[in-house]
Amino acid sequence: MPFAHITGWGMYVPEPILTNDDISKLVDTNDEWIRDRTGIRERHIAREHEFPSTLGVEAAVRALQIANLAPTELDLIICTSSSPEYIFPATACIIQDQIGATKAGAFDIQAACTGFIFATNMAAQAIRSGSIKSALVVGTEVLSRFVNWKDRNTCILFGDGAGAFVLQASDIPGGVMSTVMHSDGSGADSLAILAGGSRYPASELTIHEGKHFIEMDGKEVFRFATRVMGRAVLEALEKVNMTTNDVQWIVPHQANYRIIETAAKYLKMPLDKFVINVDRYGNTSTASIPIATVEAIQKGQIKPSDKIAFVGFGGGLTWGAMVVEWTGPIPAKKHVHPEQYRRFARLRSFLRRVIRFIEGVFSRREL
Ligand code: UT7
């Protein structure tokens, strides 16, 4: 049975930064309160012309560069987002088209902030089963478009950004070792965007009632997160007969510094074993774990052969953890330039649209 290694990683955040002081001009809050209660100092906000696919493509190309893998080699793309571009088509398909992943199947999964762990697990299982050789997982968010900038309970928390992993099959042991995935739909009300789906289709009333914005019972989510995070890590470690002593790094979902602190206490682990960057990005939902991972690698914290536990929680309610042996890119003789495929991808996409248009004209004539 092949092993599923994480061989590439990339992140991208939009340039504009929104500080706590900026937010204090919008709602009744202040920098001290936000830093004290959440650990967040600033977050990045997408510009008007940036969408989840825009950010996701940047992160994906960077991940492919590290993996030294051409997009045309990808078998599968899974995108996960709490702020997808559309209800359908899947954001994964837009990314597939733009990076030029001509033979990849692409789809989205939705598990709120836990999405990246669930999606990476799905990709790893597909590789482990032998049915595919390589996969791209993208977590990408433009949550700022769903934030009610008049609600001080939520608007202080979220930021935009994207992160991506490339997974590849190898006979060498390592990579994704174990995963646990959990859900509890009885808590669905605690964190939600209610309108825009088929239950509350967009209407004057849904807009008037603010149902297209993120709604959250902050205290409830806080209690849930502190209850499940530590337990999920232990469960994932137990599956591979490991303990917290065997782990070099925990990469938690970046929602709130205090939640991470509580998890560290529960696990009896020093906080400096936790990768934390919530101060500079806020909560980027599905993108937070890969963004934190990429930064930790760039800082020289995460190194090959390290054992890492990812842990996440979010709306649904959902939560999960994954234990990974970090390896890095599979050595290859040839050097590929994934970014160069984008130009061809744009041309290919344009030509396919033209062909589809011409086919449409001829088929109408035949009818
Ligand atoms: O991916 C998962 C996403 N969600 C989360 O992870 C959220 C988890 N929850 C949290 O992070 C925290 O519950 C919050 C940061 C949202 C809130 O922190 P808290 O310590 O639970 O505050 P609180 O809701 O208990 O509010 C305490 C006080 C209240 O005032 P009173 O009633 O005591 O007078 C709030 O009205 O703080 C007030 N408050 C604020 N004050 C200044 C609430 N938000 C703000 C604010 N600035 N932004």
Give the pLDDT confidence of 161-194 residue by residue, as tens digits: 999 999 999 999 999 999 999 999 999 999 999 9
Q: How far is the CA of 296 from the centre of ligand 1 (A)?
A: 28
Q: Which two tokens stand for residue 146?
A: 């769903």
Angle at 232 between CA 253 and CA 294, to 5 degrees: 30
Burial tier of 300 (Cβ tally within 10 Å: 0-12, 13-18, 19+): exposed
Instruction: Compute the average pLDDT of residues 294-306.
Output: 96
pLDDT band at 352 (very low <50, low <70, confident <90, very high): very high
Residue 18: strand pairing partners: 43
- Of the candidates 256, 281, 292, the one whose C-alpha atom is nearest the C-alpha of residue 34 is 256
Q: 215 C-alpha to center of ligand 1: Å?
A: 13
Residue 113 near residue 82, CB atoms below 8 Å: yes
Q: Average pLDDT in the 205-225 region?
A: 96
Beta carbons within 8 Å of 52's beta carbon, 6+ residues apart: 79, 81, 83, 84, 85, 91, 140, 141, 142, 162
C-alpha–C-alpha distance, residues 352 and 366, integer Å:
21
pLDDT for residue 365: 72
For the question of whether the overall pTM of this predicted structure is more than 0.75, the answer is: yes
- Could you say which architecture CATH assigns to the domain 3-325? 3-Layer(aba) Sandwich (3.40)
- Cis upstream peptide for 304 (omega within 30°): no
**DSSP class of 83:** S
Alpha-carbon distance of 138 to 12, in angstroms, equals 11
pLDDT at 257 exceeding the cut of 90: yes
Residue 147: CB within 6 Å of ligand 1?
no
What is the spatial distance between Cα 11 and Cα 63, in angstroms, rounded to a whole number? Answer: 8
Q: Please report which helix (H) or strand (E) contains residue 239, including its range.
A: helix 218-239
Per-residue pLDDT band at 334 (split at 50, 70, 90): confident
Task: Judge whether residue 294 has pLDDT over 90.
Answer: yes
Q: Is 54 helix (H, G, I), strand (E, B) or coil?
A: helix
Does 229 score more than 80 pLDDT?
yes
- Quote the pLDDT of residue 331: 81
Per-residue pLDDT tens digits for 106-128: 999 999 999 999 999 999 999 99
- pLDDT over 70, % of the chain: 99
Length of the chain, in residues: 367
Residue 179, helix vs strand vs coil: strand
Tell whether ligand 1 has an atom less than 6 A from the beta carbon of residue 20: no
Give the pLDDT of residue 333. 74
Beta carbons within 8 Å of 320's beta carbon, 6+ residues apart: 114, 117, 118, 121, 179, 180, 181, 182, 232, 311, 312, 313
For the chain, how many helices (H) and strands (E)?
11, 13
Closest of 285, 345, 353, 365 to residue 97, by C-alpha: 345
Q: Is 196 left (phi over 0), alpha (psi -120 to 50) or beta?
A: left
Q: 283 is written with which tokens?
A: 């909560």
Residue 297 has pLDDT above 80, yes or no: yes
Query: Which pLDDT score, from 0 to 100, does residue 367 have?
Result: 65
Which pLDDT score, from 0 to 100, does residue 10 have? 98
Residue 321 has pLDDT above 80, yes or no: yes
- The Cα–Cα gap between 194 and 201 comes to 9
Residues marked active site are found at 113, 253, 283
Average pLDDT score over residue span 307-311: 98
305 has pLDDT over 80: yes
Quick check: CB of 256 below 6 Å from ligand 1? yes
Residue spans of the domains in the chain: they are: 3-325
Q: What is the DSSP letter of 193?
A: E
User: Is 187 touching ligand 1 by the criterion CB < 6 Å?
Assistant: no
- State mean pLDDT over 69-87: 97
What is the per-residue pLDDT for 135?
Answer: 98
- Which of 27, 37, 254 has the most ligand 1 atoms within 8 A of CB, as the residue to mutate? 37
Identify the sign of the CA torsion 18, 19, 20, 22.
negative
Q: Give pLDDT, residue 363.
A: 82
Residue 37 Cβ inside 6 Å of ligand 1? The answer reads: yes
Question: How far is residue 211's CA from residue 195's CA, in Å, rounded to a whole number?
Answer: 5
> Looking at ligand 1, which atom is closest to the CA of residue 155?
48
